[in-house]
Amino acid sequence: MAGHFERVTDSVLLPRWVVREHEARYAFCRSFVRDKIVLDCGSGEGKGSKAIAMGKPRLLIAIDRSLPSVRLARGERIEPVAADTERLPVRGRLADVVVALEVIEHFANPEAFLTEAARVLRDGGTFICSTPNRIVRNPLSALSDRPLNPWHLREWSPSEFRSLLSTVFGEVELLAQQPQSVRMTRSFEWLAKIISRRGAAILRQLVKIPLAIMPSSGRYGVRAMDEDWDYEFVVAVCSEPVR
C-alpha cells in the first residue's frame, strides 16, 4: 500500500477542515456499529477507531500495517492488529461492519482489498468506504492520471467508484461530503485547460483556506447526493457481498 505516512494524527498540525471532514465520517459510522464486530482498515494511530468506538461496538479491530502506529490505537472495545489491510488477518464472515475511510485510494490493487472486505463480512454485513472525488479534487484528470496528493495512487469519479464497488457488492449506496456548486466545478475545469490540471487542483485546495475560520454550518456532514451539486468526497455504504 502506498502512502501509509498520510495519517490523521495529533503529532502533526492539520488544517481545521481536514480534521472536521474526518470527524464527520467517524460520526457517520457510529450509527452502524452498536453491539457489532467492526474492522477499521487502515486505522493508523486509532483516532478514527476511538471515535467510531463511541458508537459502542461489541469489538472493534483496528488494522494497520504500521506497528508503531497501531499500538496507539488500543482502547476500550478496541483491539489493535498490525497487518496488511489488503490481506485481512481474520477468518471469513467474522465482521458485521468493515470500515475503510480514505484508504482505498492508497492501494495498488483496490480490487483485492474489496474482495477481502467481502470475504470477512457476515451475511447482512455492511462495508463503509470513503474516497476523494476526482472530478472535484483533480479537474479534468482521468482515472489513469496520478492525483495531486502524492500519497494517492488514483482517485475515482462517483460513477467509476460505484462501478468498482459493484463488482464485489450487490448493493451500493453513494453518499457525499463537502458540496461544491456545479458552476464552480466547471470553472476549475476551465482553469485546468488554461493553467494545467495540476495548477487547477492546487487552486482548488487553496480556496478551502477560509474554512479555517468559518463555522461548519453543517457542510462537513455525510449526506445524500443532489444532482445539482458536486461533492469533494464520496462515502459508500455497501452490502450483499459477492462470495
How confident is the model over 118-168, as pLDDT tens digits? 999 999 999 999 999 999 999 999 999 999 999 999 999 999 999 999 999
- Across the chain, what does the average pLDDT equal? 92
CA–CA distance, 34 with 51 (Å, rounded to integer): 13
Q: What are residue 41's DSSP bridge partners?
A: 63
How confident is the model over 181-202, as pLDDT tens digits? 999 999 999 999 999 999 999 9
At 213 the pLDDT is: 76
How confident is the model over 209-232, as pLDDT tens digits? 887 777 665 779 999 999 999 999
CA–CA distance, 200 with 182 (Å, rounded to integer): 15
Residues 48, 40 contacting (CB under 8 angstroms)? yes
At 164 the pLDDT is: 98
At 171 the pLDDT is: 98
At 70 the pLDDT is: 84
How confident is the model over 7-23, as pLDDT tens digits? 555 555 577 888 899 99
Share of the chain above pLDDT 70, in %: 93
The pairing of beta strand 78-82 with beta strand 95-101? unpaired
How confident is the model over 35-66, as pLDDT tens digits? 999 999 999 999 999 999 999 999 999 999 98
At 8 the pLDDT is: 57
At 1 the pLDDT is: 45
CA–CA distance, 197 with 215 (Å, rounded to integer): 30
At 13 the pLDDT is: 59
Radius of gyration of the chain (CA): 17
Q: Retrieve residue 19's grid coordinates.
A: 480534521
Burial class (CB in 10 A: 0-12, 13-18, 19+), 94: middle
Q: What are residue 99's DSSP bridge partners?
A: 40, 128
At 211 the pLDDT is: 77
Selection from 136, 138, 155 nearest residue 229 by Cα? 136
At 9 the pLDDT is: 56
pTM of the model: 0.93
The pairing of beta strand 95-101 with beta strand 121-132? parallel
Residues 203, 138 contacting (CB under 8 angstroms)? no
> Where are any strands of DSSP class E within 12-149?
37-41, 59-64, 78-82, 95-101, 121-132
In one letter, which amino acid is 21? Answer: E
